[in-house]
Amino acid sequence: MAVKPRALRRDPLMLRVAGRLLGISIVAVTLALGVHVAQLYYFFPQTDDAYVRANVVHIAPHVSGPITELPIQDNQHVRRGDLLFVVDPRPYQAALAMAQARLDLTNLEIKALDNAIDAAKARQAQLEADARYDQQYLARLLPLLKEQFVTADEVYNARTKLAAAEAAVANARNEVLKAQNQLGQYGDINARRKAAEAAVYDAKLNVGYCYVRAPFDAYVTNLNIAVGEYANQGRQVLSLVDNRTWYVMANFRENFLSRIQPGMKARVYLISYRNHRFRGVVQGVGWALFQENGATVDGLARVAPTLNWVRLSQRFPVRITLEERDPGRPFRMGETAVVTIQGFQP
């Protein structure tokens, strides 16, 4: 009978030991992977249903007219105060010149009314002096009538003259009030001048509105106009992507929401820059979703017929403000992101 070599006799023992070690390793790796997955799923919610967003502002002019200048290009970055486009300012400049001329005429009219008031006051003072003289003359005649040094007709004439003088004084006072009302002076403010100055200010605003400038740092997007196009007041001409604040709208399943709170830190990866990590902060969690099932149509409840008994988790939007900027990795609205909520961190 042949004798087996010693190496062959040791193989079963070594195989059993190696098998046990392999089994233990598999169990350990499985447990470690399970703990890691549990941490990711339960303690650090994660989603890949997320997109980079920014505020889009639609720019519309305050005045109407053809566009005469368009110094920008599509996708261009503009800074606050940069000129976007110019609406033909000539009609508004003409309106400004007319309003300025009216202001000058108003100032001349105010001076003329001031002179008229002074003249009316002087006339009033003269008539008041005449009335006082007539009153004194009548007072001297009345004692003489008793002694019959004057006739009754002379006294009657004096009374009539005094009444006419007093009426003239009253009329003069009314003329002064009329001139003052025409002047439009209320305290230190002249209503005529104020209205003319307001017209000039409004005309200056319209001239300024012809030059439309960027209200903040932004990117021009979807520019589809050219010089010569007519711009209507209040109608959108172009759109700007606000470059001041970027955020991610991440849709998380509703069973994660209890572990997501405003102020928590978030780790963000963008598909555009796979190997770069961005940091963000949870700004808030959405409070409502639109649902077709249960909506009211013509006063009746709309309930979709279904035989599906599986309840799917709803997804609520979570806004995450991106904290850091990298000039070499600019954000673009609509980029796909992967977000992990890391919780509160010091």
- Amino acid at the residue 227: V
* CATH code of domain 91-207: 1.10.287.1700
112: number of CA atoms within 13 Å, CB side?
8
Q: Examine the pLDDT at 147 and tell me if it is beyond 70.
A: yes
- Per the CB < 8 A criterion, the answer to whether 111 and 197 are in contact is no
182 C-beta neighbours (distance < 10 Å), count: 15
Domain 44-54+244-343 has CATH 2.40.30.170: yes
| pLDDT on residue 216 | 95
Query: Of the ranges 33-47, 76-90, 194-208, 332-346, which one carries the lowest mean pLDDT score?
Result: 33-47
| pLDDT on residue 8 | 47
CA distance 254 to 286: 11
- Per the CB < 8 A criterion, the answer to whether 341 and 282 are in contact is yes
Q: Thinking of the domain 61-84+212-235, which architecture would CATH place it in?
A: Beta Barrel (2.40)
Q: Examine the pLDDT at 148 and tell me if it is beyond 80.
A: no
Query: Per residue in 211-236, pLDDT tens?
Result: 999 999 999 999 999 999 999 999 99
What is the domain partition of the chain in residue ranges? 44-54+244-343, 61-84+212-235, 91-207
| pLDDT on residue 48 | 92
The two counts, helices (H) then strands (E), for the chain are 4, 16
Q: For the chain, what is the mean pLDDT? A: 85
Structure tokens at 126: 């003269």
- Per the CB < 8 A criterion, the answer to whether 235 and 87 are in contact is no
Cβ contacts of residue 56 below 8 Å, gap of 6+?
221, 239, 240, 241, 242, 333
| pLDDT on residue 1 | 46
Structure tokens at 329: 């990795």
| pLDDT on residue 6 | 53
Query: Per residue in 153-206, pLDDT tens?
Result: 777 777 787 788 778 878 878 877 777 777 667 677 778 888 999 999 999 999
Per-residue confidence band for 39, with pLDDT thresholds at 50, 70 and 90: low
Q: What is the pTM of this model?
A: 0.71
Q: Can you tell me the mean pLDDT for 293-300?
A: 71
CA distance 212 to 87: 8
| pLDDT on residue 184 | 67
Query: Per residue in 233-276, pLDDT tens?
Result: 999 999 999 999 999 999 999 988 888 999 999 999 999 998 89
Q: Examine the pLDDT at 83 and tell me if it is beyond 70.
A: yes
